[in-house]
Amino acid sequence: MHELSIAMELVSQIVEAAEANRLPRVDEIELEAGILRLVVPEIMQTAFQEAARETIAAGAALILTEKKAKVRCNQCALVFEPHVDDFTCPKCRIADAKVLEGDQIILKSVSCNLSEGNGK
């Protein structure tokens, strides 16, 4: 259910980007979710459509990609891919790692399709 909290932040960024670039509307959004954020794609889709209602992004297609996690062990500096529920370093067997990748949700792009006749 945290997807809705995230979607509301997402929509305000989409609206900001669209306005700054004078897009008449938003048809497509690319979003990259780090796997550690545990975003469920189907729920994110629904949450996004809900949050986007009555905004410039209403009905837009949300293209969601997942980013794998990468962490560095604070003990031995080994860089490895953890499981969401297991951060144990394969070398020193201690879960004490700094996340390098996979804990962010990034709005990558916002697009608008202009077909002949409706755009300028």
Partner 1 sequence: MNKKIKVNVVKNVLQANDLVAGRNRQVFKENKVFALNLISSPGSGKTTLLEKTIPALKPEHKSIVIVGDLQTTRDADRLSDQAQQAVQINTGMSCHLYANQIAQSLSDIDLKGADFVFIENVGNMVCPGEFDLGENAKVILLSVPEGDDKVAKYPTIFRVADLILLTKVDLLGALDFDLKRVKEDLSKLNAKATLIELSSKTGQGMDQWLDWLKAKRTEGIGRQARFATE
Q: Which residues bind partner 1 (CB under 8 A)?
A: 1-2, 5-6, 9-10, 12-13, 17-18, 21, 23, 31, 36-38, 84-88, 94-96, 104-116, 119
The listed partner (Zn ion, partner 1, none) that binds 107, CB under 5 to 8 Å by sort, is partner 1
The listed partner (partner 1, Zn ion, none) that binds 61, CB under 5 to 8 Å by sort, is none
d(CA 87, CA 32) in angstroms, rounded, equals 22
Length of the chain: 120
Residues 20, 5 contacting (CB under 8 angstroms): no
Binding positions for Zn ion, rule: CB under 5 A? 73, 75-76, 78, 89, 91-92
d(CA 77, CA 64) in angstroms, rounded, equals 31
